[in-house]
Structure 1
Amino acid sequence: MSRGNLTSARSIMQLVDSGRIDQALAEARRMTEQSPTDPAAWRALGYVQTVRKNLQEAKQSLLHAISLAPQDALSWEHLGWLYRRSRDFARAISALQESLAIDASKARPRMMLANSLADLGKAKKAIAEYQRVLEREPGHVRAHNNLANLLAKRGDLKSAADHYLRAAERSDELTYRISAAHMARRIGDWATAERLEERLLRTMRTNERPGDRAQPFPLLAMPSATTADQLHAARQMAQAYAGAEPVPHKPASVLAAQPRLRIGYISNDFHEHAMTYLLVEALELHDRERFEIIAFDYSVNRTNESRARILKAFDRVIPIAGLSDGEAARRVAAEDIAIAVDLKGWTTDARPQIFAHRPAPLVVQWLGHPGTMGAHWVDYAVVDPIVAPPGSEGEFSERLLRLPHCYQPNDRQRRIGTIPTRTEEGLPEDAFVYCCFNQPFKVNREVFGLWLDLLRAVPHAVLWLKDDNRWATAAQREHAQAGGIDPNRLLFGRGLPLAAHLGRLSLANLALDCAPYGSHTTASDALWAGVPQIAYCGTTFAARVSASLLAAIGLPELVVRSIQEYHDLALRLATDREELARVRGLLAANRLTTPLFDSRRFVRHLEAGYDSIWQRCVAGLTPDHTNVSAIH
């Protein structure tokens, strides 16, 4: 390999880095013509072709480079990168291992190897490779972040938090700070979360890093985040997919001639998940004479009762887990879907970028993400007059499809298991039991302080919480002790199957809300189990859901709008037995007679909403805010 060609190969890389791809391609081709036996020339050509996504040509160029110099680690590395871009992770692993066998000192091929192992679900091996990167380069930001992602999925949340924090301390990028802040909240480390969030929000508001992305979902639980912050984060996130090419689909006028309107529901939560618990009966009750409903499923295929039931609720189920985003979008379009419904939004492991390809005439987001998507490809968000009251339209990039009562469906078939004794659940027989089974990331300093105030005011009360992870549980006990409350008055319930959880939930006297990310499915669970739920109505979608639930079940008197109102109501219900008995009696009377658990009425409203926005689309009109009238 001549020194001149080595220099030329580097200059080609510089051309690529500066965005002059066509010039780089021409220069690389000239090199191969001038020096047809020089592996550096063919490697450079293969690299540029990979950047241009001419993957078959790139593969031939790189394999030729390797045939000329089998011990060229960089050619093997580029081949591994090419295979990664092709989503051929098995071949990527093989090529990258060849590269590292020749030169084990480079972080880049080892990072790609670790990422490929992770993509194939080989978490243990991927973790080992990330750790090897960090042994050589302790400050490697992406290695810390990616390692934290895998540790979090394996349940090692404290180690994940440590690595997220190291990434955030070494980089100003918003994505690392928000991951670190959210994990800190998951383990109850409020001080770290607050410090990171203050910096993060300041950077977002001053637009110091306009090209950065911050995952929108964690902002829902940040006490200081506003609806403007949430919209900004969502728009920045969506901007990354602005260049997605639309896939062809049949026009609305053609699809309107189908005997039934085809609705496509897309999610990876078709299994034991809160979304499935809420949604399944609504799917079962769709009017099959007018609607055909199809699942596009990228869930992990685990056999369980919830998965079996929800998949059976669809007319057809189409697996898309192994497809690229573009391929998945083309699959949606091929099914002649009129309305594609994203049930995930910006939540964990979501793939909203599938919808960036516009695979259907209308795209609707519903249920998974309680906030705006900030995405140009989403036409409507399903809401109600409380989670998105008149005047809140500016908080959303979508047009609003307002259902008349609550936007959240519920399953009246949910079985309530055998009610255990308090002794069996470790609860004092004579105590007043406040409960909150929300995930710990929703519990912040202000809300927890309020709960401690209630325990001080009601000496015979205990607080029953979700034992989500041992670090959060320990932290909450420590926070209680620091606040002068005996940690033994905090009791923790382990994870149980839904029916068993609903059975034990009946033992509580009063369910408490969180803020600003309030009780959603947890509030529905409490109400279904006959336990009154306080709803703390805030200023964002996520902060208003519990208020929507309480209004839909005819208990608006349990909705509060300030910390003081919250304290006073929770104290009164714990100390006035007659008032608590009245509220419980009203809940029992309303449970099956009001809209919240009237699944048939909910589905008729949802279908009316679909009909309305579809007729508008068929008429060639642009999406607009739509209010569905109540059906009695």
Structure 2
Amino acid sequence: MTDSRSPRPSVTQALTLHTDGRTTEAEAAYRQILDREPRNADAWHLLGVLRSEQGDHDSGIAFIRTALSIQEAPEYHLNLGSSLLALERMEEAMGAFMAALRLSPDKADIHFQMGNLFRARRLPNESVAAYRKAIALRPGFAEALNNLGSLLMEVGDAEAAVAAFAEAIQSDPANAGSHCNLGYALDTLNRLGEAAAAYSVALTFQPDFALAWSNLGNTLKGLGRLERALAAYRSALTHRPDFPMARSNLLMAQHYAPEFTNADFLAAAREWAIRDGDGPPLAAPAVRDTDEARPLRVGYVSSDFNSHPVGYFLENVLKTHDRSAVTAFGYANNSRIDHVTERLRAAAGGWRPIVGIGDEAAADLIRQDGIDILVDLSGHTGNNRLPLFARRPAPVQVSWLGYFGTTGLPGMDWIIADRHVLPPGEERYFTEKVWRLPGSYLCFTPPTEEVAVGPLPMLGGGPVTLGAFHNRAKITPSTVALWARTLAALPQARLLVKSREFNDSGVRQALRDQFATHGIAPNRLRMEGWSPRAEYLGSHNRIDIALSPTPFGGGTTTAESLWMGVPVVTLRGDRWAGRIGVSFLETLGLADRLVAADPDDYVAKTAALIGDPSALAGLRSGLRETLLHSPLCDAPAFTRSLEEAFRSMWNARKREP
């Protein structure tokens, strides 16, 4: 066969070299053809495609435009549009794709790329229609089915996404990416056992698939198999050491396991910063001016600006910011948008979606907005943007609200806490400087759902019902042992657990088996899955007392239980994640009755509450008002203290050389 060294290679021979991955030889062959035939449009086009595949889109575009100047072909316009889309030159890409469609309206690849363009422009309806057209023209178009499924996940239609991924698998059964996508969709639908199976199939076809390992870890954590989850995260990092989210997932999971300590969290966070913090820390930008009277420009960054604890706890803070003191911007990394998102957007002074925007581009946007203080609300939780903070887009950077430990990031200046979650002396476990607010570090936004507090259920003649509405990962073996001791001390009681994971029958049976090893019969356990928030809140009217887990205690669930009049018995933990409920109860003045020093005290406090039904009923009837009139719900006062903290941080930065 003639190769690139031949003085007269053909386009077919050059294309063979190209498709075989022999790109240097292929480019030489294309250029030899063009030296001989300067108006060979196919050679110009294919040379442009090759250069674009190598990441040199500017050269690729120039070569393909040369081909088009010689003759038109739908493939030329299609590949020109693809290169323009890669450079985010949206209008030019649209023109190229439309030109391709005029020449070949029934070509599936063109509709597929139109779908990609509409998706990049945040036009989901148009994108779905384009993907569906591509699939109709080419049944079993696996890449289009996968992109359609991913888009459907973004807009919240997981059932339709499952169907798309399943069709992609039917077309290409060995495609590991399709199985991984299916696993993610099934997890979202609380079909955890099926999700774990889908990830396992993906890993059968591609054992080094780091994303599948990391996602499998998340699902295993949801199933309550924490040791296996930790192993899965480590496998992800073995195959892809530069995988920040997998390392964050590993760090996050450690907070659930009693064998890990605050020192371990610090060490793991520092390792994350070294490996994934994007190089040595950048110097903080200079303070832009010295006008002490102007409002500070504060940016909040989160993937959870929706129906999520971050959204619930932030809402009233945004609403009560003093506009003469703070101009608040939201940098929203969340694809899911709901009524909470809209309320947060309305309360903010500026709103910037950053989903799909790279860290450097997002950092440039923040700099252009002139942000003085950038606040991370995610830490090492899912879809965090910590690498963005590593780029130092603001003079002062702060961690608050969404996480419960050090980020480990040298560029994170402060962490906001209180004396209950971060007692004096534990500063050594944080790379950030600690700022303690005077009360709790959280401000609860009361639910908009109007659900009244019901009477104490046990007074109605039924059994005593203890409740625990925590995610399955928090129900660790030590938690099961603690709750089993409590049930053994209260033979008349039963336990209702409720969380999305309990939609899965395998999760339910595994927990029954765990309790059985402690002598607790299955008929003393009731398990329920996800329900809408109003129904979920109403479920509190079926329990007498709520139980907090260990070592990762209740946070949002504790606040919601108190709102519904249900006291929460809490073990004082050895870590921030085990003290969030303690912070609430200390603030309400209920710690002496509800915060236990050890497991014996936990059982005793629960039994004491059950043993005095009239006192428990009185506590229940007044809890909502107590909470509503406490510092936990005093958004104006809380926000003033937060603003004072920001101003002090800012002034301290101004004084630095």
**Could you say which TM-score interval applies, normalised by the shorter chain?**
0.7 to 0.9
Indicate how the Cα distance of structure 1 residues 163 and 477 shifts in structure 2: closer, same or farther if over 3 A, else same. closer
TM-score where L is the length of structure 1: 0.76
Counterpart pick for 2:508 among 470, 476, 481: 476
- The residue aligned with 2:305 is 270
CA positional deviation for 1:513: 1.0
- The residue aligned with 1:360 is 394
Which is worse superposed, 439-448 or 314-323? 314-323
Is residue 2:231 matched to residue 1:195?
Answer: no
CA contact (8 A) 1:55 1:82 kept: yes
CA distance in 2, matches of 1:372, 1:112: 41
- The residue aligned with 1:370 is 404
Is residue 2:580 matched to residue 1:545?
Answer: yes
CA contact (8 A) 1:463 1:490 kept: yes
CA contact (8 A) 1:372 1:398 kept: yes
Is residue 2:541 matched to residue 1:509?
Answer: no
CA positional deviation for 1:244: 12
Q: Secondary structure at the match of 2:289?
A: helix
Q: Secondary structure at the match of 1:254?
A: coil
CA distance in 1, matches of 2:303, 2:236: 32
Is residue 2:596 matched to residue 1:560?
Answer: yes
CA distance in 2, matches of 1:229, 1:70: 60
CA positional deviation for 1:614: 0.5
Indicate how the Cα distance of structure 1 residues 154 and 582 shifts in structure 2: closer, same or farther if over 3 A, else same. closer
- The residue aligned with 1:518 is 553
CA distance in 2, matches of 1:243, 1:31: 43
Q: Secondary structure at the match of 2:568?
A: coil
CA deviation vs aligned residue, 1:286-344 (integer Å, no higher than 9, x gap): 2333222233345557563x445433433344455575554443333333221122223
CA deviation vs aligned residue, 1:361-419 (integer Å, no higher than 9, x gap): 22222212333333344332222233333443454443333223322222358676223
CA contact (8 A) 2:146 2:168 kept: no
CA positional deviation for 1:124: 7.3
Q: Secondary structure at the match of 2:647?
A: helix
- The residue aligned with 2:4 is none
Consecutive unaligned residues of structure 2, counting only runs of 5 or more, are: 1-9, 98-106, 115-130
- The residue aligned with 2:643 is 607
Q: Residue type matched to 1:445 in 2?
A: P
Alignment map for 1:42-57 (pairs within 5 Å): 43=46, 46-49=49-52, 51-52=54-55, 54-57=56-59
CA distance in 2, matches of 1:135, 1:339: 50
Counterpart pick for 1:529 among 540, 561, 564: 564
CA positional deviation for 1:229: 5.4
Q: Residue type matched to 1:388 in 2?
A: L
Q: Residue type matched to 1:387 in 2?
A: V
Q: Residue type matched to 1:531 in 2?
A: V
Indicate how the Cα distance of structure 1 residues 362 and 116 shifts in structure 2: closer, same or farther if over 3 A, else same. farther
Indicate how the Cα distance of structure 1 residues 500 and 84 shifts in structure 2: closer, same or farther if over 3 A, else same. same
Counterpart pick for 1:455 among 484, 487, 500: 487
TM-score where L is the length of structure 2: 0.74
CA distance in 1, matches of 2:210, 2:393: 30
CA deviation vs aligned residue, 1:60-91 (integer Å, no higher than 9, x gap): 44576799997999x97897587457496996
CA distance in 2, matches of 1:597, 1:56: 55
CA positional deviation for 1:199: 6.2
CA distance in 2, matches of 1:380, 1:488: 49
CA distance in 2, matches of 1:25, 1:366: 54
CA contact (8 A) 2:18 2:50 kept: no
CA distance in 1, matches of 2:256, 2:298: 31
Q: Residue type matched to 1:399 in 2?
A: K
CA contact (8 A) 1:9 1:41 kept: no
- The residue aligned with 1:287 is 322
CA distance in 1, matches of 2:654, 2:29: 51
Indicate how the Cα distance of structure 1 residues 493 and 422 shifts in structure 2: closer, same or farther if over 3 A, else same. farther
Which is worse superposed, 4-13 or 408-417? 4-13
CA positional deviation for 1:516: 3.1
Is residue 2:316 matched to residue 1:314?
Answer: no
Q: Residue type matched to 2:477 in 1?
A: R
Q: Secondary structure at the match of 2:579?
A: helix
Q: Residue type matched to 1:540 in 2?
A: R
CA positional deviation for 1:611: 1.1
CA distance in 1, matches of 2:530, 2:163: 30
CA contact (8 A) 1:110 1:129 kept: no
Q: Secondary structure at the match of 1:252?
A: coil
Q: Secondary structure at the match of 2:301?
A: strand
Alignment map for 1:209-358 (pairs within 5 Å): 210-213=241-244, 214-217=246-249, 218-219=252-253, 220-227=255-262, 230-231=265-266, 239-240=275-276, 242=278, 251-254=286-289, 256=291, 259-297=294-332, 299=334, 304=339, 306-321=340-355, 325-358=359-392
Q: Secondary structure at the match of 1:277?
A: helix
CA distance in 2, matches of 1:585, 1:428: 15
CA distance in 2, matches of 1:176, 1:312: 37
CA distance in 1, matches of 2:361, 2:462: 59
CA distance in 2, matches of 1:588, 1:127: 41
Indicate how the Cα distance of structure 1 residues 271 and 258 shifts in structure 2: closer, same or farther if over 3 A, else same. same
CA distance in 2, matches of 1:168, 1:227: 33
Query: How high is the sequence identity, in percent, across the aligned residues?
Result: 26
Q: Residue type matched to 1:315 in 2?
A: G
CA positional deviation for 1:519: 0.7
- The residue aligned with 1:118 is 150
CA contact (8 A) 2:470 2:499 kept: no
Counterpart pick for 2:497 among 458, 461, 465: 465
Indicate how the Cα distance of structure 1 residues 253 and 209 shifts in structure 2: closer, same or farther if over 3 A, else same. closer
Q: Secondary structure at the match of 1:147?
A: helix
CA distance in 2, matches of 1:548, 1:114: 45
Number of residues of Structure 1 aligned to a counterpart in Structure 2: 599
Q: Secondary structure at the match of 2:581?
A: helix
CA contact (8 A) 2:296 2:327 kept: yes
Counterpart pick for 2:219 among 183, 195, 201: 183
Larger Rg belongs to:
2
Counterpart pick for 1:58 among 57, 60, 72: 60
Which is worse superposed, 132-141 or 63-72? 63-72
Q: Secondary structure at the match of 1:534?
A: strand
How large is the RMSD of aligned CA atoms in angstroms? 4.9
Indicate how the Cα distance of structure 1 residues 203 and 84 shifts in structure 2: closer, same or farther if over 3 A, else same. closer
CA positional deviation for 1:512: 0.9
CA positional deviation for 1:521: 0.7
Q: Secondary structure at the match of 1:368?
A: coil
CA distance in 1, matches of 2:551, 2:474: 8
Q: Residue type matched to 1:363 in 2?
A: Q
CA positional deviation for 1:278: 1.8
CA distance in 1, matches of 2:334, 2:621: 40
Is residue 2:390 matched to residue 1:388?
Answer: no
CA contact (8 A) 1:93 1:116 kept: no
CA distance in 2, matches of 1:49, 1:226: 49
